[in-house]
Amino acid sequence: MLTIPNKLLLGSATAATQIEGGDFNSNWYHWSLAGKIANNESSIVAADHYNRYPEDIQIMSELNQEIYRMSIEWSRIEPVKGVWSQEGIDHYKDEMTMLLKNGIQPLVTLHHFSCPEWLQKEGAWVNPNTVERFLIFAEKVVLELGDLVSEYCTINEPNVFVTDTYMDGKYPPGHKDDIKSYFKASKHLILAHLKAYKLIHRLRADHKFTGVTKVGIAHHLAHFEVDSKNPLTHLSKKLMDFSFHDLFTKGMIEGKLSMPLGVGYPEGQGRFCDFIGVNYYSRHIIKSTMNPAMLFGEVTVDESLPESRKNDLGWEIYPKGLSIILKQLYKDYPIPIYITENGIPDANDTKRAQFIYEHLKELVSLINDGVDIRRYYHWSLLDNLEWNDGYGPRFGLVEVNYNTLKRTIRKSGKFYGELIKHRNISEEMKQNYNIKDVSYE
């Protein structure tokens, strides 16, 4: 039997662009018009969550979820520069109210990859003025949501965002190997978080909003290993760790800028996270490369892995990597940890329950060893638009039929709901859901 400590709250996560639909003012809608999403798909339908959120919250309640991480779509709040949409504001207030009535505590992400098209046209995060525009947006959201939300995640996966936007060309505006923009945008994202951290605390204190204010980030932490003893390979791994991990942990947690972003502490020394959100999916094998534009080396997967050890996107399933990165993270920064994303694309739903079980085993072991882990948000509640990969990858605890938009709770979703209700995984549950104790070495 695996028993879940009471301190570890369980729920799910989503992002607005990926599930809401109906937003014509987002840069991702315009990106889809240019045919940049797989199969010429668009964000305009998604799972229609914007209209169906009462149904989806009811499903969350049926699955006994305690917490929910969601994002606010900036382009719904400020569709035109300097113009606020009361309809968008009221919508999110209604959604938060319904979550709370169902006993589900929201964690709100302010920037989850997307932005208004007007901001994209101004250069988005390579433009230093975006820092101030983000703060204006953040202030509006915090003041409008007031007592409804006390926990905020400022920026989601800044490292993935700048990599896919300025190096791999997958996100708008689709730059390739643009190292200068990579670092410029990274600096502005870090500054935006540091300033927003202070702003949110000040606003909620000044207005005496209820609830303990908690502000953090959601940082994608991957477990990197090298494929050989070649010194160049080890150098590639160090460069990858520095540019993909360390720049952002030091910047957003400590407030310290590292070269080439800058030096010193622009907002002063201290701690700029009340929790550290960790998004974890896989282990990555690093190979060296002679391409000077590829600071990161070449990221690969062990080709000898059996299909049972890979998800539908070909990523390795490696629960042990979660323990490895969290042990080091908590050693460096003894701050409460939220697992803000952890999930698997699994259209046939044959691996998801096992995936949840194995990763929760790692978390429970870490908690028993003294690591302060307080939240687990499974990615994702619903099948969703997986950004440039379109609607093919199926991450949802709940299946979405994109022709009818009908929701169907998957067997793994029922497993997760039962786990939350009973706070343990009994031998009977393991048999019912075909859960095995396996080694991922």
> What CATH number is associated with residue 336?
3.20.20.80
Counted domains in the chain: 1
Q: Which domain holds residue 274?
A: 2-6+9-432
Distance CA 244, CA 223 (A): 11
Per the prediction, the chain carries an average pLDDT of 95
Domain for residue 278, yes or no? yes
Measure the N-to-C terminal CA separation of the chain; round to a whole number of Å. Answer: 22
341 is catalytic: yes
Domain for residue 110, yes or no? yes
Q: pLDDT tens across 48-84, in order? A: 999 999 999 999 999 999 999 999 999 999 999 999 9
Lowest mean pLDDT among 10-19, 278-287, 376-385: 278-287
Domain for residue 187, yes or no? yes
Domain for residue 438, yes or no? no
* pTM of the complete model: 0.96
Catalytic option among 144, 254, 341, 362: 341
Q: How much is the pLDDT for 297?
A: 62
pLDDT above 90 as % of the chain: 89
Domain for residue 103, yes or no? yes
Residue carrying structure tokens 């969703």:
384
Domain for residue 294, yes or no? yes
Q: How much is the pLDDT for 294?
A: 47
* 238-248: burial string, b at 16+ Cβ within 10 Å, e else: ebbeebbbebb
Q: Kindly tell me if the per-residue pLDDT of 307 is higher than 80.
A: yes
Q: pLDDT tens across 231-257, in order? A: 777 888 888 899 999 999 999 999 999
Q: How much is the pLDDT for 285?
A: 87
Q: Kindly tell me if the per-residue pLDDT of 292 is higher than 50.
A: no
pLDDT above 70 as % of the chain: 97
Alpha carbon separation from 46 to 43, 59, 385 (Å, rounded): 5, 18, 6
Q: pLDDT tens across 315-356, in order? A: 999 999 999 999 999 999 999 999 999 999 999 999 999 999
Domain for residue 159, yes or no? yes
Domain for residue 441, yes or no? no
Across the range 282-294, mean pLDDT stands at 69
Across the range 296-308, mean pLDDT stands at 78
**CA-CA-CA-CA dihedral for 430, 435, 436, 439, to nearest 10:** -130
Catalytic option among 117, 144, 157, 358: 157
Q: pLDDT tens across 132-177, in order? A: 999 999 999 999 999 999 999 999 999 999 999 999 999 999 999 9
Whether residue 366 contacts residue 327, with contact meaning beta carbons closer than 8 Å, is answered with yes
